[in-house]
Amino acid sequence: MNRKDFLSKIGIGAAFTLTATCLGACAKEDFRPTEAVDFTLDLDNSSNVALKNNGGYIIQNRVVVARNEDGNYVAATQQSSHEGTKAIILKNNEWFCTDHDARFDLSGAGLNDVGKKGLTIYKTDLSGNTLRIYS
């Protein structure tokens, strides 16, 4: 083997190793938020009017706060676990990513391959007309 052949083979092997490492790391990246959430919403405030209707939702502090079809308040991160985009909404009584069509049930479990990493869900507590959303 001459020097040119040797360098050529090392170059291809190194490129393969770097590509495989990068792709493997990218596939394992977790975009779910880790910071604590704790805030309240005044349901009488006009900016929260969507929460008066089943199926309605608002986005506050990077959290999607919604009223599901059963009339219960639910909350999830706005950030998709698929690629980290902030595109989660409530659609057809499930969490849905408008960028990649990832679907999650209301408990955050993935409903399709794109949503398989799950979704961060937050607790809600209603006291009078004040809704608390927290980790």
Give the pLDDT of residue 9.
Answer: 63
Give the pLDDT of residue 4.
Answer: 60
Average pLDDT of adjacent 10-residue blocks, the chain of 135 residues: 59 49 49 85 98 97 97 95 84 95 96 94 98 98
User: d(Cα 18, Cα 33) in Å, to the nearest integer?
Assistant: 28
The two beta strands, 73-77 and 121-127, are antiparallel
Burial of 27 per CB tally in 10 Å (0-12, 13-18, 19+): exposed
Do 23 and 16 contact (CB within 8 A), yes or no? no
